[in-house]
Structure 1
Amino acid sequence: MRIFPNIISCVSLVCGFFVLAAASAQGQSARLVDYVDPMIGTAKMGHTFPGATVPFGAVQLSPDTDTIPYAVNGRYNADVYKYCAGYQYDDPTIVGFSHTHFSGTGHADLGDFLLMPTSGALQLNPGTADAPDKGYRSRYSHDNEYAAANYYKVKLDAHDITAELTSSSRVGFHRYTFSKPAESHIILDLMHGIYNYDGKTVWSVARILNDSTVVGYRQTNGWARTRVVYFAMRLSKPFKNYGSRNFEKDQVYKGFWRKFDQTDNFADLAGSKLRMHFDFDVEAGEQLLVKFALSPVSMDNALANMEEEVPHWDFDKIKNTGQELWEKELRRIEVKMSRREDYINFYTAMYHAALMPTTYMDVNGDYRGVDHQVHRAEGFTNYTSFSLWDTFRAFHPYLNLVNPSRNADMVQSMMAHYEQNVLGILPIWSHYANENWCMSGYHSVSVIADAIIKGVYTGDANKALDACVATANFRRYEGIGEYIDLGYVPDEKNGTSVSNTLEYAYDDWCIAQLAKYLGQEDIYATFSARAENWRSVFDTSIGFMRPKDATGKFREKFDALETHGQGFIEGNTWNYSLYVPHNPQGLMELLGGKKRLSTYLDSLFTMYLPDKFFEHTEDITREGIIGNYVHGNEPAHHVVYLYQLTGERWKTHEWVRKILQDQYHNGYDGLGGNDDCGQMSAWYLFSSLGFYPVAPASDEYWLGAPIVESASIHLENGKVFRVEAINQSTKHMYVQAVLLNGKPLKGFTIKHNDIMNGGHLQFKMGARPNKNL
């Protein structure tokens, strides 16, 4: 009987050969990883980084292109917003390569432990973009820059050094090639950071263990209030000399460390503004390698992470291993598309949807909890950096399909946060053992409910429900007390009172669905009632959501187009009035029925929103707007699918195609807005496949119009769900019929289990709308 596995293996190899041969014949890559372009989104509003990382890795080793401060003369410096990921494509210089970065956020932190190789005279100041020669930064050209999954390469023109970067999960790996003999230096900047300001680095420590190994840590007070990161650095060549400079202002009390000259070869350093240098003599063509490991717990753990993940000096091996991990990640969905540009968009979206959240534990399972104690993850991988206001919408539902075991660990990480949190609530927006309280809503409940209802999270579901209820009843947060008492957040209590009310109502519906699933009828009844609180802020006299005060009076001075100061977070009422994803039928009825909803949607997508209405909202720019619909920000990501309710499904098909073509491109400026930790990319992936999770915590996906010719989703349970778009082309954007497993599909939704059971979803496409669909 052993013959059968061998036969199957041979058949698989033969089939694989023909697949690869066919791909080659079409001018396509046999490796999916070759379609990934990390430069997409590195210009304008995308806020992505081009550097090296592995899927959900703890290290994101990437270039930083400027040192823009968060504040100038005591006031917020708006230019800093461009540097949320540390890199802006249009910048002419590179300051260095730091080891931690967010992807696609609209606020920032991190940028830890910047390294920069230099030649010639030692300089410990980074200089400025206008005068780079006065510092250690360097000019560079995009002609000499290359980025791929887990690999980045650039020539530093000022020093004539080629820098290459790769990584394992917890270790950044640098390879510097020096083109000419010279005295050279590695700069380690312990005061550098993203969204930096004077005093952000509270303290840093560096200990030189020998002539090639340095350990230490730094603590910062920024977006994360009390963030500590440990490091271990090892160089492939002993340094001949080292030194440091502390840029702190002169203090009255200096202690007795003043007995030592700490600037020259002193092995025990500490301060809030440290920069170090390590000096070498190099020959022409010589390569110097640096391994740089991180830990949330200790210097010893950082060393252990290095020894476990990168015990050798084979740079290419680490690069290739990381790219193999990316290939495995991308193979979860194999698509056939008509153009190479579409392959690049699709697999770069998959790449961006596997950067965050990031692993936040050492190889032995140790991690720092939100209680700032050391814990050990037993039976799960602990993750950090949960941008939940963005990612609950499509990113976490995407993981529930293609990577459910990882999303289960993310839910477990949220539950660990709840258990360790002295406030007794789930994360709002958390990173690096800190709650940063960014944005609004309590959307961890959406992620948790969706994961439990879909069978992804198999931990203690009743305990998870308790955590959701406790979070929803935390009265001190963003008007929740008034929301519970009045049924809405009053205008005078909170500047984003309307969007808060709408988001709380949706989250409450999620809790109700979870309670129903678990048979908790009292909780179900309570939160089902709260889920209808969105009605409290709908003004029937104008047909929009609108702020009102505690007496029940709607705000008189109100602008339906303005995105700032009107009671909404990062949006206007035109976009937010449709944010009732859990009861779109009820919303349509309140608006006035199918015809009114259709007219509303038509106007939203076709009217013009002048710049003055978003000039004070930095997260919204012209590139991310179609009509008055803001795709570059998240609150209205579901609305294009609401045409299904009006009986005009063809309009969904038309506008989905328009958004896919208008907001996602190849090239550095290829994203219409912040990728927001994978949410923009997840929207692209779902919509490209032809369905979308309008209301996570429901088991339904709403149908759209795919742009793939075919797709195979390889599920963790071993089954395959296939999508096929028959007669697909750029002109054939309208769905004529939908079949599931060969049978006509009634309605405009499919169930989660329809996908997880494996099967075949067929869209028959045409050039004209089928208005009877």
Structure 2
Amino acid sequence: MKKLLLAIFLLPLFASAQEKNFIQFVKPLIGTQRMGHTYPGATVPFGSVQLSPETDTLSYEKNGKYNGDVYKYCAGYQYDDKTIVGFSHTHFSGTGHSDLGDFLIMPTTGPLQLNPGTADHPENGYRSKFSHANEIAEPAYYKVKLDDHAILAELTATTRVGFHQYTFPKSDNAHIIFDLTSGIYNYENKNVWTFVRVENDSTITGYRQTNGWARTRIVYFAMKFSKPFKEYGFKNQANDVYKGFWRKFDQSKNFPEIAGKQIKAWFDFNTEGGEMIKIKFALSPVSTEGALKNLQAEIPHWDFDRVKREGQQQWNKELNKIKVESLTNDEQINFYTAMYHAFLSPTTYMDLDGSYKGLDQNIHKTENFTNYTTFSLWDTYRALHPFFNLIQPKRNQDMIQSMMAHYDQSVHKMLPVWSHYANENWCMIGYHSVSVIADAVIKDNANFDANKALDACVTTARNQYYDGLSYYMKMGYIPEDKNSSSVSKTLEYAYDDWCIAQMAKKLGRNDIYEEFIKRSENYKNVYDSSTGYMRSKLNDGTWKSGFDALSTHGQGYIEGNAWNYSLYVPQNPAQMIEMMGGKDRFTKHLDSLFSMHLPDEFFAETEDITRDGIIGNYVHGNEPAHHVAYLYNWTNQPWKTQDKVRMILKHQYKPTPDGLGGNDDCGQMSAWYIFTSLGFYPVAPGSDEYSIGSPVVKSAELQLENGKTFSIATVNQSEKNVYVQKIELNGKPLTGYALKHADIMNGGKLVFYMSAKPKKK
């Protein structure tokens, strides 16, 4: 019995000892410079709270002209900035569109200032200069010194609660500024309404309703201070202080509540030198009561270091799902930072009791699943969700359950396209929820009603009112003179239709299979053999005149040009290659894509395209090209895939703030890096195969949720040895350039034999 008790006691210690410290390799500042659009602040895996610094104030000038850069500040933070405005609680990671930035808090000393000031003159407001020398960003922890106020700011978080710790100098004039007017995507009068209520001398509740990218979004909060404030105040849009509606009470001092569009509040303290004021700030999608319960349940104490430690333990548990040994420390940093970014979203969207606001704006409660939001599906269907099917299968099942709840609540009966916070943004094209669902079904990761999910996919794909689908179903393509981005939409619909067909085939729904496998060949209807490119057609069936293969405007494409989108038939690369002139001609076409020189006019054509993320005319910073390097595997020169993916890994990912060659897009860029580093990639999600590339790791162990381990090893691995001579799976030769999903999930060992010379036979 004593031995048994000792074994039980030592078990968690033994399990902990098996975990390696991969936290040390995660650098959240990667991607915070230029176009990466990541944030450096504190969060836990898939957390509701993303507590992070803001370095810009998105606001209006006196003449009403917007004076911020909403695209540049999608994540609220830019590494090149010299001042911090404050710390807010919600952020997107790596998106190309902005929203959120809710509930800005800023500690200050000296005379009270309620305006943020400017980057050039921070002394005119509450913002502060800072230095990267005094900044630390780690998983679940952020620290910075606010130079103008001599305050040390530290942040950590749980899933639903942000935890602030501010170390003040001695002051009789210390303040906590609470600015509900601040936010990202703040033009067009984003705030609809805000409400703040002082519950007692240390507890504040309220909500913020906004009309930004999400048309209507309400977030509730509960805020608790570690010590009572000595005084507080409110200010509204008209610069009236303590102004209420009916004036039946004395509102001249410490009035307990206020409502309006543009509310700011402040809380005053006396502080000793080195004294810490801590703030727990909880969010809820449902109510202030829910926020209070979340706060009490997740952080019932005031031990900041404990919350930081537990948050980092959560991160280390997730990072240990893949144990990698790399050639260099830089590659180790790139890999684990990519895993970190891949596990930031989608984000948890429900209270601890399962309550959340649905797409119908009613309150719902989950049954046996975690509800998620932030679905950037045009990006993440390609690699992020397939990665989850490997490493986070239970979470991916819950994400699909969340999509199905969205569908049930949709008056359009549509699966999500780009959704967050109980809103559908209708951003980008396709109906790529079906790709995510099909990929899970095909890979036997479906604990949901697969037939009901298939019905939802079919209903979505037959919706004649959605984005040109009526033309697509009737004509087999979308006419550019009737609906823009017509080529891109036709191609992406055809791929999604193939996904539906694969799911229907597996479920024995032959009538649906026949309908959608036929639709999946609609890509042929926009291929122009005279030019060799996918090209936009008009309603009368003729090709649109003025074709320009390099142009990104008016040609029928979105976030790409004819070169990029003519390669988008992931469901049938072999047939696409044959259609485009055969393997030899297609190989030369691919070679030209990577080697060509783009004219300056190409970059001047749109503000959205810079030289970041571009190799020749291959645009790694935009997702339609993410599978392209793997297409050589369907030609007579598959070794070129190995050469190209290693080149992309080297040039597009670096362990520096500007180390991402484009928006991380909610983890898609990072998921590409992870797959490619391991040596394979899901060219066509909805298939059970991965396409072989060239691993950059020395070795890797995938700890699968089913309890099995899949190991990857390399022989003769080096920076120069990028070519694969042979591959062995469980000691037997792997023929061809495809790896089955089941081969991974069954556990085993994959060995790559590397060389500096390509195997051309």
Same fold (TM over 0.5): yes
Answer yes or no: is the 8 Å Cα contact 1:620–1:673 preserved in 2.
Answer: no
CA distance in 1 between counterparts of 2:277 and 2:69 reads 35
What per-residue deviation string (whole Å, max 9, x for no partner) do you get for residues 632-686 of structure 1? 1100100100101112121111110000000000111010000000000000000
Residues 213 and 325 from structure 1, CA distance in 2 versus in 1: closer, same or farther, beyond 3 angstroms? same
Matched, 1:401 2:365: no
* Equivalent residues of 1:69, 1:195 under 8 A apart: no
2:613 is aligned to 624
Cα offset for 1:475?
1.3
Seen in structure 2, the aligned counterparts of structure 1 residues 771 and 161 have a Cα distance that, compared at 3 Å, is same
Of 132, 136, 146, the match for 1:146: 136
Q: Is the 8 A contact 2:44 2:157 kept in 1?
A: yes
Once the two structures are superposed, residues 214-244 of structure 1 have per-residue CA deviations (whole angstroms, 9 ceiling, x without a partner) of 0000100111101000000000010110001
Could you tell me which amino acid in structure 1 is paired with residue 646 of structure 2?
A: R
Structure 1 residue aligned with 2:124, among 134, 140, 151?
134
CA distance in 1, matches of 2:267, 2:551: 53
Q: CA deviation at 1:420?
A: 0.8
The number of aligned residues is 759
Q: How does 1:694-705 map to 2 (within 5 A)?
A: 694-705=683-694
Residue identity in the other structure for 1:193 = G
Q: Deviations over 1:181-237 (max 9, x none)?
A: 341111111111101125210000111000000000010011110100000000001
Residue in 2 that maps onto 1:223: 213
- Who is 1:24 aligned against? none
- Alpha carbons 2:407, 2:414 under 8 Å: kept: yes
Q: Is the 8 A contact 2:584 2:636 kept in 1?
A: no
Per the alignment, residue 110 of structure 1 pairs with 100
Are 2:569 and 1:563 equivalent residues in the alignment?
no
Against the structure 1 CA distance between its residues 347 and 72, is the aligned structure 2 distance closer, same or farther, given a 3 Å change threshold?
A: farther
- Contact persistence 1:218–1:229 (CA under 8 A): yes
Q: 1:344 aligns with which of 329, 333, 346?
A: 333
Contact 1:337 1:707 in 2 (8 A): yes
1:25 is matched with none
Distance of aligned partners of 1:57 and 1:7 in 2 relative to their CA distance in 1, 3 Å threshold = closer
Cα displacement (A) at 1:71: 10
What 5-or-longer segments of structure 1 have no aligned partner?
21-29
Q: Give the match's secondary structure for 1:705.
A: coil
Contact 1:445–1:507 (CA under 8 A) maintained in structure 2 = yes
Residue 99 of structure 1, aligned match among 89, 95, 106:
89
Q: In the alignment, is the contact (CA less than 8 A) between 1:656 and 1:705 conserved in 2?
A: yes
Counterpart CA distance in 2 for 1:367 and 1:16 is 34
Alpha carbons 1:620, 1:632 under 8 Å: kept: no
> How much has 1:3 moved relative to structure 2?
7.7
Deviation of the 1:78 alpha carbon: 8.2
SS at the partner of 1:85? coil
Matches for 1:372-391 after TM superposition, within 5 Å: 372-391=361-380
Is 1:207 aligned to 2:232, yes or no?
Answer: no
1:425-464 equivalences under 5 Å are 425-464=414-453
Query: Which moves more between the two structures, 77-86 or 116-125?
Result: 77-86
1:545 aligns with 2:545: no
Match of 1:158 in 2: 148
Letter in 1 for 2:281: F
Question: Contact 1:382 / 1:410 at 8 angstroms: preserved in 2?
Answer: yes
1:602-636 Cα distance to aligned partner (Å, 9 max, x none) = 00000012242143444432120001000011001
Name the structure 1 match of 2:652: 663
The match for 2:721 is 732
Alignment of 1:504-583 (within 5 A): 504-583=493-572
Deviates more, 1:311-320 or 1:179-188: 179-188
* 1:118-144, Cα deviation, whole Å (9 max, x unpaired): 000001111111221111111111111
Deviations 1:738-765 (A, max 9, x none): 1111111111001110000001111000
State which of 574, 594, 600 in structure 1 corresponds to 2:583: 594
Out of 462, 482, 496, the residue aligned to residue 493 of structure 1 is: 482
2:23 pairs with 1:51? no
- In structure 2, give the amino acid aligned to 1:571: G
CA distance in 2, matches of 1:419, 1:649: 44
**AA aligned opposite 1:728:** Q
Gap change, CA 1:650 and 1:118, over 3 Å in 2: same
Q: Which amino acid aligns with 1:353?
A: A
After the TM superposition, which residues 320-331 of structure 1 pair with which residues of structure 2 at under 5 Å, given as runs?
Answer: 320-331=309-320
In structure 2, the CA distance between the partners of 1:174 and 1:481, relative to structure 1 (3 Å rule), is: same
Work out whether residues 587 and 635 of structure 2, in 8 Å CA contact, stay in contact via their aligned partners in 1.
yes
Which residue does the alignment assign to 1:370? 359
- 2:666 corresponding residue in structure 1: 677
Residues 161-197 of structure 1: CA deviation (Å, up to 9, x unaligned): 0100000000000000012334111111111110112
**1: distance between equivalents of 2:130 and 2:639?**
48
- One-letter code aligned to 1:143: A
What residue identity is the alignment partner of 1:630? V
Q: Which of residues 634, 639, 649 is equivalent to 2:638?
A: 649
How far apart are residue 406 of structure 1 and its match? 0.4
Q: Is the alpha carbon distance of 1:550 and 1:263 closer, same or farther for their aligned partners in structure 2, counting shifts above 3 Å?
A: farther
- Note the 1:15-54 alignment, pairs <5 A: 30-54=20-44
1:76 shift after superposition: 7.8
Matched residue, 2:594:
605
Structure-2 change in CA distance of 1:345 and 1:723 (3 Å)? same
Deviates more, 1:471-480 or 1:679-688: 471-480
Asked if the contact 1:426–1:444 (Cα under 8 Å) also holds between the matched residues in 2, the reply is yes
Tell me how far apart the structure 2 counterparts of residues 35 and 363 of structure 1 sit (CA, whole Å): 31
Task: Give the stretch that moved more between structures: 2-11 or 61-70.
Answer: 2-11
* Aligned counterparts of 1:207 and 1:87: Cα–Cα separation in 2: 29
Q: Which amino acid aligns with 1:507?
A: D
Point out where structure 2 has 5 or more consecutive residues left out of the alignment. Answer: none
Q: Does 1:413 align with 2:437?
A: no
RMSD: 2.1
CA distance in 1, matches of 2:252, 2:96: 38
1:193 maps to which of 152, 164, 183 = 183
CA-CA distance at 1:725 after TM superposition: 1.1
Aligned partner of residue 70 in structure 2, secondary structure: helix
1:483 to 460, 465, 472: 472
Distance between the aligned counterparts of 2:479 and 2:205, measured in 1? 51
Mark the CA change 1:262 to 1:711 in structure 2 (over 3 Å): closer, same or farther: farther
AA of the residue aligned to 1:677: C
One-letter amino acid matched to 2:46: F
User: CA distance change for structure 1 residues 371 and 12 in 2, over 3 Å: closer, same or farther?
Assistant: closer
Moved more, 641-650 or 73-82: 73-82
* 1:269 to 2:258 alignment: yes
Structure 2 partner of 1:61: 51
Output the amino acid matched with 1:656.
V
- Report the equivalent of 1:26: none
The aligned residue for residue 120 of structure 1 is: 110
Q: 1-side partners of 2:734 and 2:62: how far apart?
A: 59
d(CA) in 2 for partners of 1:8 and 1:293?
36
Q: Secondary structure of the equivalent of 1:219?
A: strand
- Deviation at residue 9 of structure 1 after TM alignment: 11
Aligned match of 1:361 in 345, 350, 353?
350
Query: SS where residue 502 of structure 1 aligns?
Result: helix
> Would the aligned equivalents of 1:564 and 1:571 in 2 still touch at CA under 8 Å?
no
Residue 691 (1) aligns with residue 680 (2): yes
Specify the alignment match of 1:177 in structure 2.
167
Contact 1:703 1:748 in 2 (8 A): yes
Letter in 1 for 2:96: G
SS at match of 2:72: helix
| Inter-partner Cα distance in structure 2 for 1:606 and 1:153 | 43
C-alpha separation in 2, matches of 1:702 and 1:72 = 56
SS of the residue 1:609 aligns to = coil
Measure, in 1, the Cα distance between the counterparts of 2:430 and 2:59: 30
Contact 1:620 1:633 in 2 (8 A): no
Instruction: Report the secondary structure of 1:512's partner residue.
Output: helix
Three-state SS of the structure 1 residue aligned to 2:711 is strand
Aligned counterparts of 2:200 and 2:401: Cα–Cα separation in 1:
40
Letter in 2 for 1:542: T
Quote the offset at 1:544 in angstroms. 0.4
> Paired residue for 2:234?
244
